[in-house]
Chain A
Amino acid sequence: MTERELRRTAVIIPPKGRAVLCVWAAVPGLLAAPFVFWQGILPGLVFAALWAVLVFLARCRACSFAAVLGARTLTVYSGIVLPVRQVFPRRAVTGVQQLRTPLLRLAGASVLIISAPGSRMFLPAVPAAQAGALAHALAEELL
């Protein structure tokens, strides 16, 4: 994928990527659940329901995620009820890290961590091909 192709479309999290994020969000709940169920069935069920809502919210947020590469900036939109927009000038990027776990590899996705002097941006579970192209495009600014 070339930079021109990347700039024609927004990078979103595909369904498989969203599933991976939901699994990640569910893991702490699954680990904590036995201890809560130990206290009683009712607290356990309430905890499970709350955690399920949390995972659902994470999925909704993942659905609303979009990263747009411009000529000079990278803009990330996320959130429906509490929308957040982050804008990074491409020239401010000081480092790009690409993370792939076995689960992400199965889903054909990657996590991109983009660093700038003042802050850091996470692009979770975006398609691997687009993540690679994005990392390449941003890395060119580093040279």
Chain B
Amino acid sequence: MTTPNPRPSFPTEEKHFHPFAALRFLRKTLAVYLIPLVNVLFERNWPAFWTALRQDAILFALLCGVSWVILRFSSWQLDEAGVLHLRWKLLFKLDTTIRGEALAALTLERPALFRLGGATKITLYPTGQPRKHVIPLCLRRADARELADRLLPIETPTLHTPAGSERAALVLLGANGISTLALVALAIRQTRQLPLDAETLAFAHLGHLAAFAARWLPAGAAWLLTLATALFGASLARSFAQAVHYEVWHTATQIGSRGGWIDRFECRVRSAQISYADVRVSPAARVLKRWPVFVTAGCCTPELPLFVYRSGGEALFRELLPEFQMPPDVRADTTQRSFIFFAPVGIPFALCALLSLVSVTVLPAMTVTLLIPTVFFFVLLCGAVMGYTREGIWLREGKVTLRRQEGVYLHCICVFHPDLCLMGFQSPWAANVRRTNLTLIFPGQVRLKVRSIPLAEANAVVRFLEQESH
């Protein structure tokens, strides 16, 4: 990574947005001229089709004109104090001011199309604001880089580039977990040697996979697996493309990552605005013994883990997030705990299992097909058991830590932000057994719910907030 030199503070001239900024507007109007066209196309009324096409062309020209007006009369400027001004000057004047200090995070994205056009999408995440108040801007590449360096400058960063194995872990952990399970099932059942390279397998022709799966499964089930494998392949390819050239850095005031092969991205997060860090324990992570760490600041929740560490190699973790505390590795108190954990997946599992049992005598050809959703819901049910026995909230060395389950994932979370709001909710049954659901509300309207915890544990967190001094 090239370390940006500290730039002198000087105002930039007033600049317009990149023409690609109009794409957002044009994309929203796409339906307006496509729907009439599709209607006449299906009716095969060719004279009406040509008329609709002409009308669409006129409409498109009109919308292009509106886009030109938007681009012409909107602008941005950085003043000498490094404050960003967004301006609109037609009919009325609107000046929006954004200070760098008021940002929790920013991201720079360069999808392939934007790279071809020399554009960069920069998204600003103001502190404490919800997702609907983020500010996406489309600028020229150099302008976006300059803006990012002025708003959240990177000064003397300490770099870490994931090694090969870590990168592989990043690829795998970012991929779709459900599709992974489908691929594993395929691999177990295979009768001949397959290439062990997951990427080669995922990229293989869809028809070959279908033919292979059809050898041992009914057509419907085979296609289900093929679809899942194809999704896995797409997810794997995307994760791989994102993980190429991946690097993570930290400075005294911020933490960030960048990477990407076709679509490039960069994320800069202000350390003081990190709401929480989340070590996501998935089945794949357990197998690889590598733990991805996701960081949330304001409403900025990057899709990729900030970094991945392996068991016994927590040095990087300690370097990047020195204050992180893992929730204690204990089983939660399950005395009179609510069975709500099992309801969302237990009911479909019971239905699918019942259908599978019935199909053994009534329609044996469907049994294998029905077993696929049964196994799927069984896996989710195992996840629910994990949540039932592990979900909870604890105080550890001055930090609120919690563990919560979502699907087959177990989120081990450490709260960093002091502006934490709490909401406790009790049903009459929960009140009777002195349990409560506790929702943690972070800046940016990010909410995390811990279900059916003892009231005493919730009270301990409330007391901690009352006593905490900053």
The interface of chain A, by Cβ under 8 A from chain B, is 70-73, 75, 81-89, 91-92, 94, 116-119
Contact = CB atoms under 8 A, between A and B. Distances in A.
Interface string B400-442: 0000000000000000001111111111100100000000011
Given A83-B425, A119-B445, 19 more contacts: A72-B467, A73-B462, A82-B426, A84-B423, A85-B422, A86-B424, A87-B421, A92-B418, A92-B420, A116-B419, A116-B443, A117-B129, A117-B419, A117-B443, A118-B441, A118-B442, A118-B447, A119-B423, A119-B441
A81 B423 CA distance: 16
A92 B431 contact: no
A119 B421 contact: yes
B447 to A, nearest CB: 8
Given A116-B421, A118-B441, A73 B466 contact: yes
A86 B421 contact: yes
17 contacts: A70-B466, A82-B425, A82-B426, A83-B431, A84-B423, A84-B425, A87-B424, A89-B465, A91-B470, A92-B418, A92-B419, A92-B420, A92-B421, A116-B419, A116-B421, A118-B419, A118-B444
B127 interface: yes
A85 B445 CA distance: 18
A91 B419 contact: yes
Nearest to A116: B421
Contacts of A89: 418-421, 465, 468
B448 to A, nearest CB: 11
B446 interface: yes
Nearest to B438: A85
A33 B403 CA distance: 49
B128 interface: yes
A121 B429 CA distance: 26
Contacts of A91: 418-419, 470
Nearest to A77: B424
Given A89-B418, A89-B421, A116-B421, A82 B428 contact: yes
B424 A84 contact: yes
Contacts of A83: 424-426, 431
A82 B423 CA distance: 13
A86 B446 contact: no
A26 B246 CA distance: 60
Given A81-B428, A91-B418, A116-B419, A72 B445 contact: no
Nearest to B470: A91
Interface of B: 127-129, 418-428, 431, 441-447, 462, 465-470
A75 B444 CA distance: 21
B425 to A, nearest CB: 5
Contacts of B424: 83-87
A86 B439 CA distance: 9
Contacts of B426: 82-84
Given A118-B128, A118-B421, A72 B446 contact: no
Contacts of A87: 421-424, 462, 465
A86 B442 contact: no
Contacts of B447: 118
Given A72-B465, A73-B465, A117 B444 contact: yes
Contacts of B467: 72
A89 B418 CA distance: 8
Considering residues B418, B419, B427, B446, which has the most beta carbons from chain A within 10 angstroms of its beta carbon? B419
B291 to A, nearest CB: 27
Given A73-B462, A73-B465, A118 B422 contact: no
A116 B468 CA distance: 18
A86 B468 CA distance: 17
A84 B436 CA distance: 9
Nearest to B420: A89
Closest 6 CB pairs of A and B: A117-B128, A117-B443, A92-B419, A118-B441, A87-B422, A85-B424
B462 A86 contact: no
Considering residues A71, A87, A117, which has the most beta carbons from chain B within 10 angstroms of its beta carbon? A117
A91 B418 CA distance: 9
Given A73-B462, A87-B462, A117 B428 contact: no
A71 B468 CA distance: 10
A85 B436 CA distance: 10
A124 B408 CA distance: 42
A79 to B, nearest CB: 8
A89 to B, nearest CB: 6
Given A118-B128, A119-B445, A71 B466 contact: yes
Contacts of B128: 94, 117-118
A86 B422 contact: yes
A135 to B, nearest CB: 18
A10 B358 CA distance: 61
Nearest to A121: B421
B421 A88 contact: yes
